[in-house]
Amino acid sequence: MQLTWPDRLTGLKLKLGRDPTLGEMLAEAIDHTMTPAEIEAQRQSYMRAMAPCEHGVADFEECPQCMPGRTARVAGLKIVEK
Ligand SMILES: [Zn+2]
């Protein structure tokens, strides 16, 4: 049976006895083979990210309706209004 990414993270947490750091998760990811379901989820996520938002703006982060106030945090980086 192929391990899913959540299964691998659970195993890593048990082995460490704590939540893994980002570096530890990245090291674990090197050995992970994505399941067909994970590949499909990633494909769909990529397609959503590349498609215009429902308001027709190519980059949803530039859409005032999708990102009112531009205060969202993305990947730990604060988006600052220009
Ligand atoms: Zn939008």
2-31 confidence digits (pLDDT tens): 899 999 999 999 999 999 999 999 999 998
Q: What is the rounded average pLDDT for all residues in the chain?
A: 85
62 CA → ligand 1 middle, Å: 8
CA of 78 to the centre of ligand 1 (A): 19
Instruction: Kindly give the distance from the C-alpha atom of residue 58 to the centroid of ligand 1, in angstroms, as a whole number.
Output: 9
CA angle in degrees (0–180, nearest 5) for 75-4-47: 50
Tell me the chain's radius of gyration from C-alpha atoms: 17
Contact 71, 79 (CB under 8 A): yes
DSSP 1: -
